[in-house]
Structures are given as structure tokens and as C-alpha cells.
Amino acid sequence: MIDNERKFMVAPCGIDCGICEVSTCKEDPQLLAHLVSRGIPGEKLPCGGCRNVKGHCPVIGDQCATYQCVTARGLDFCYDCGEFPCTKLHPSSDRADVLPHNTKVFNLCTIRRAGVEGFIGLSSEIKRRYYKGKMEIGEGPKIDT
């Protein structure tokens, strides 16, 4: 059973803050130093997760517009919105190799289908396939074993 604190680490946009390096850096001093060297303010690390910091993500340096939108509408997740998916969730190839933002719609659909607990059980594999998978047209990213 996954506790409510861990469930709270899944952002309204579908990003799993619970496995985000900006959050997990508390367990890895080298990662923490690397993130600071990349321009993320050390005083904002480790991040407590989107919901805990009310959308003030240390990576973007301001309050996330997606977070503002979801909370202003009184929703838990973007998929609860009648305008889902909107342009805030539109994928982009810009920095796709280092940011998990292209996974948001897939993550949100997985949360809707499997629930937050089910998604948390899958989120590490989703992230691994995104960054390490080799795309097979019609089949999605495959992991070489």
C-alpha cells in the first residue's frame, strides 16, 4: 500500500515528483551538487514536490502555469478538465532528452486508468522507457535486455 504522502508527490500534470532527481537529490550529494551546477538554486533543493511547494518548481523558478490552472479550477489532475489535453501538455522536442515533460499525457492517462497507486508502481518503468528505450514504430519504446 502506498501512503498518502507518496501519492501527494504525483503532480497535477502527471509528473511523478517522487522519482524526480530534484526531489531525490536529498539522498545523493553528488546529484545535489550537479543540480546546483546546472543553475537550480541550492536553497530550493531538495524540492518537496509540486503540490507541497504549490507549483513553485525550482527548475522553472516561478509558479507553474499548469499548477495554477489546475488549482484555480479545483481539480486534482489535468485529465479531470474538460479541455484535456490542452496546449500546456503539448509535447515538444526541445530538451526532450533531459526533461520528462513529453510523458505528461501518457502519465495522466495511466493515472486515470490505473489510479495513483497503480501509476506510482509503473512510473519508474515509464521514465526508464522514455529515457533508455529505443522507439519501435507502432510498438513504443523497447528496452534492450
Residue 27 covered by a domain: yes
pLDDT digits (tens, 9 = 90+) for 49-92: 999 999 999 998 889 999 999 999 999 999 999 999 999 999 99
20, three cell numbers: 524526480
* Residue found under cell 509528473: 15
Sign of CA dihedral 5, 6, 7, 9: positive
- Helix/strand/coil for 142: strand
Model pLDDT, residue 2: 81
Res 26 pLDDT > 70: yes
Residue 59 covered by a domain: yes
Residue 15 covered by a domain: yes
Residue 72 covered by a domain: yes
Residue 14 covered by a domain: yes
Decide: 49 and 58 in contact? Cβ < 8 Å. Answer: no
**Structural domain count, the chain:** 1
pLDDT digits (tens, 9 = 90+) for 122-132: 999 999 999 99
Residues 31, 39: Cα–Cα separation, whole Å: 13
The parent domain of residue 82 ranges over 4-132
What would the mean pLDDT of 21-48 be, rounded to a whole number?
93
Percent of the chain exceeding pLDDT 70 equals: 99
For the chain, counts of helices (H) and of strands (E) = 5, 4
81, three cell numbers: 478538465
pLDDT digits (tens, 9 = 90+) for 97-118: 888 999 999 999 999 999 999 9
Res 145 pLDDT > 70: no
Tell me how far the alpha carbon of residue 128 is from its chain's centroid: 13
Decide: 112 and 79 in contact? Cβ < 8 Å. Answer: yes
Decide: 39 and 45 in contact? Cβ < 8 Å. Answer: no
- Helix/strand/coil for 105: helix
Residue 143 covered by a domain: no
Residue 43 covered by a domain: yes
pTM of the model: 0.90
Residue 51 covered by a domain: yes
